[in-house]
Structure formats: C-alpha cells, structure tokens
Amino acid sequence: MYQLLIYDVVEDYVERRVPLREAHLARVRQAHERGEMLLAGSFGEPVEGALLLFRCPDASIPEAFAREDPYVKAGIVTAWRVRQWNEVLTQG
C-alpha cells in the first residue's frame, strides 16, 4: 500500500529551507534506506509544495515523518496531509 505525504509551503520556501535542508534530507535518506520512502520532491515553479511517496500499510509512518520534519517544525511547511494512494499502473 502507498501513502502520499503532501506539503503546502511558504512563498519563500526555497530560501528559508537552506539552513534546514541537510537535516531534512538526512531524514529522507533514512526513511528511504528503511524502505519506507520511495520518492520525494517539490513541485511548481516557483515551488508551491512537495510530495513524498511512502510504501507502508497505513498513514502512521508518513504522519510521524511529518511531525518530526525540520521543515514542519520551522513553519516553512504551512500544512500537510497524508492520503492513501491506490496504484492502478506500475512499470515493469
């Protein structure tokens, strides 16, 4: 099962994330190494949000990630939500 963690961000997100980026990316890498997170990235130009794709049975893992994310704690993520993603097509 897949879960999407969706972030809404402040207008000056790219600039404000700089001092927090390494700590955030360290958590992303750890989640990826555990096999929980498959993909992560921002969207829009200028950036208007981010999406993180988790493979896990329920929302608890992405919710825990968000609660402890330096971006969320610093307030540059203005809102977040987790949605179950029902895959209908896969590569390979």
Asked, for residue 80, whether it belongs to a domain, the answer is yes
pLDDT of the residue at 20: 98
- Say how far apart CA 47 and CA 68 lie, in whole Å: 22
pLDDT of the residue at 91: 74
pLDDT digits (tens, 9 = 90+) for 21-34: 999 999 999 999 99
Q: What is the pTM of this model?
A: 0.93
Residue 38 sits in which domain range? 2-85
Asked if residue 46 has a cis previous peptide bond (ω within 30° of 0), the answer is: yes
pLDDT of the residue at 89: 80
Phi/psi at 52 (5° precision):
-125, 125
Asked, for residue 13, whether it belongs to a domain, the answer is yes
55: β partners? 2
| Two structure tokens written together for 48 | 């208007």
Asked, for residue 51, whether it belongs to a domain, the answer is yes
Radius of gyration for the alpha carbons in the chain, expressed in angstroms and rounded:
13
Asked, for residue 91, whether it belongs to a domain, the answer is no
pLDDT digits (tens, 9 = 90+) for 70-82: 999 999 999 999 9
Torsion of CA 11, 40, 5, 35, to 10 degrees: -160
pLDDT of the residue at 31: 98
